[in-house]
Structure 1
Amino acid sequence: MRIIIINGPNLNLLGKRETDIYGDLSFNEFFQALQEEYPQVQLSSYQSNIEGELIDKLHEVGFDCDGIILNAAAYTHTSIGLGDAVKAISCPVVEVHISNTMQREEFRHQSYISSGARGVILGFGMQSYELALQSFLK
């Protein structure tokens, strides 16, 4: 099974930025542990701060892999283009957020990704990624 985690803007700073919201673990540290825990999954990751690059990556992998775990970060709430890209591909997508966006600023309550996603997981910290991965394994 091939699963890719695609992360959007500022998630390259996990472990350093707003640790009260996002924790102090870097994504790379978390990702290594996830790979070790799920050796049966061909797990890869991609991160970009650039909206068009995220859309290009969805187009590139969206017809070949078994699942995409997408944390579009702030683009979740602003990018119709990313939402359209999720709807355009055949690979199932699970939308993930580390924080519970519904407990945060009102603009974070809107998602352009959700309507095209298989499901949405939010508010469980980095474990949100693992829950999404488990949804593909069931």
Structure 2
Amino acid sequence: MKIMCLNGPNLNRLGKREPEIYGSETLQDVENKLVALAETLGATVDFRQSNHEGELVDWIHEAEDAAFDAIIINPAAYTHTSVALRDALGGISVPAIEVHISNIHKREAFRHHSYLAPVCVGQICGLGTTGYEMALRYFTQR
């Protein structure tokens, strides 16, 4: 099983940015854990991060064109603003799970709405970086 894991804006600052909300793990720590878990589950993970919406859209298209089996996406702030990401995910046949480290429903009101949730298999939020692992397990066990 081949899984693409996409991370949106500011996640490159994970471990430095607002550790009281996002914790002290870096994005590299998350990648290392996810890749190691994938190996034990017989999967591979292509882990990517961009601060640019268009690049994320291109990667979503690539997920279908390159025959990925699933997408794990933490769209970060684009969750609440990006119709482009929503349309990209809605326009492909590759299933996706939306992941958030913090509980977006317990934060500012503008974070409560996700443009992506309706075109994803599910949404995992508020469980820290374990959400990535849960999404990976879901895809490898179905």
Question: TM-score interval w.r.t. the shorter chain?
Answer: over 0.9
Kindly provide the CA deviation profile for residues 44-78 of structure 1, in whole angstroms up to 9, marking residues without a partner as x: 11110011111011011134101100110000000
- Compute the RMSD of aligned alpha carbons: 0.9
Q: Normalising by structure 2, report the TM-score.
A: 0.94
Other-structure match for 2:4? 4
Look up the equivalent residue of 2:11 and give its one-letter code: L
For the residue of structure 2 that corresponds to 1:38, the secondary structure is helix
Other-structure match for 2:61? 59
The aligned runs of 1:47-86 (5 Å cut-off) are 47-63=49-65, 64-86=67-89
In structure 2, how many angstroms separate the alpha carbons of the residues matched to 1:33 and 1:113? 25
Other-structure match for 1:103? 106
Kindly provide the CA deviation profile for residues 101-130 of structure 1, in whole angstroms up to 9, marking residues without a partner as x: 000000001111001001111100000100
Q: Normalising by structure 1, report the TM-score.
A: 0.97
Structure 1 unmatched ranges of 5 or more: none
Moved more, 25-34 or 66-75: 25-34
| Residue 30 (structure 1) shift | 2.0
In structure 1, how many angstroms separate the alpha carbons of the residues matched to 2:27 and 2:63? 21
4+ long deviations beyond 4 Å: none
Give the fraction of aligned pairs with identical amino acids, expressed as a percent. Answer: 48
Structure 2 residue 47 is matched with structure 1 residue 45: yes
| Residue 137 (structure 1) shift | 1.4
The total of aligned residue pairs comes to: 138
Look up the equivalent residue of 1:78 and give its one-letter code: T
**Are the equivalent residues in 1 in contact too, given 2:38–2:136 (CA < 8 A)?**
no
